[in-house]
Amino acid sequence: MRRTLITSLTLLFATLCIYSAPATNQDKSTPINSMMQPLADVDITAFSTSVECLSYISAGSSVETGDYAKKISNGLDIVLTAVDNNNFTRSKYSGFITVFPMIFLAELLYDKDKLKDEDKRKSVKKSLEKIVRLVEEGQKEGVGVADGADGSGAWGYSIAEDKKSGRRKAQSAACCVIGLIAAKKAGIKVSEKAIDNGISYLRRCVSQTGQVGYQGPQTPQNYGGYGRTAGLLYCMKYANLEKESEYQKALKWLDANKPEKDYDAHAGAFMAWGFIWGGLFHSIRNSKEDKIHSNYLEEIFKDIKNKDGTWNGKEWKFKDTALFGDMTRLAMLGYQFKDKKITVLLLEKK
């Protein structure tokens, strides 16, 4: 069987994989991402470090306590440095990945037990405020290229793109809106209009079958939309829009499919987004389908996870694709969401 190894951004931001070395429970003292990447890679550095730290938080650690405390503390310093860089959000795929430093920083602000140092909390707040401003400034206006849907309210591949030109991406919209929701819950001032417009765009991308299209309601047959559809459902549930027709259609489609549906679209690169946002939605849905989804993920990841849910460093093979670290860890974080340790993403009131 042919075995494809994803190693470049030609298959959509998959070079994210090459920036993190496997971490194991036997090496809890080694700082993660101990070497900062060149300036052009600050977005990837912030992404990969944040996903890793969120995995450790999901395993029960915080900045000051737990088996992974030192890793989270070191990771926080790396993320704050990356966000402070003038090149932050200027990479080609920042619309997809900036959500993770947003969630990481928002979680530390939202749950004070996870970061008690007041000076550090001020730094986290300042950095998160900067990200929110950049994300809001990058939201698209006007029709643009959206395959038949008004593209206003979306984001492009990059947050730094011009507001009135370029492609409008449903995946970027789902990611950016989730990030804004997390920041708002953490106490950061966030534009309600930005959230509302982002959700409105995603609703316009719902196809007749209920799947959220790649950009607009139409999508190539092999561009599965499990991650985008789960992201829409999470955002609509946040906005108390469960009774709307788009929510009901999307929910029906999601329950009839699995994250692996996205495999044919750039193999694991798209599939990882199905696992992360699918896991998030199922963690807050409170339905019998959530247990079915959890059991499915348990089987998928059984050979590559530690007892605490973190990645054990073994190569993850799915069909004929093997993924490097960041995409594996991203997908597994969706599995860890079931433990509800990333509290800023839970939709019940604190």
Say what the pLDDT of residue 348 is.
Answer: 77
Question: Rounded distance, CA 296 to CA 81, Å?
Answer: 38
| Alpha carbon 283 to chain centroid, angstroms | 14
Collapsing DSSP states into helix, strand and coil, what is residue 214?
A: coil
User: How many angstroms separate the CA atoms of 225 and 211, rounded?
Assistant: 6
The pTM score is 0.88
Distance (Å, whole) CA 330 – CA 323:
11
**Per residue in 206-245, pLDDT tens?**
988 899 988 877 766 556 689 999 999 999 999 999 999 9
Specify the pLDDT at position 31: 37
> How many distinct helices (H) and strands (E) make up the chain?
12, 3
**23-342: CATH topology:** Glycosyltransferase (1.50.10)
8 Rama class: left (phi>0) / alpha (psi -120 to 50) / beta: beta
Q: How many CB atoms lie within 10 A of CB 194?
A: 20
Task: Classify strands 4-5 and 321-323 as parallel, antiparallel or unpaired.
Answer: parallel
Average pLDDT of each block of 10 consecutive residues along the chain (350 residues)? 33 35 36 39 94 98 98 98 95 94 99 98 99 97 65 91 86 97 99 97 92 78 80 98 97 89 60 90 90 89 95 85 84 95 87
- Domain extent listing, the chain: 23-342
3-38, pLDDT tens digit by residue? Answer: 333 333 333 343 333 233 333 333 333 334 433 344
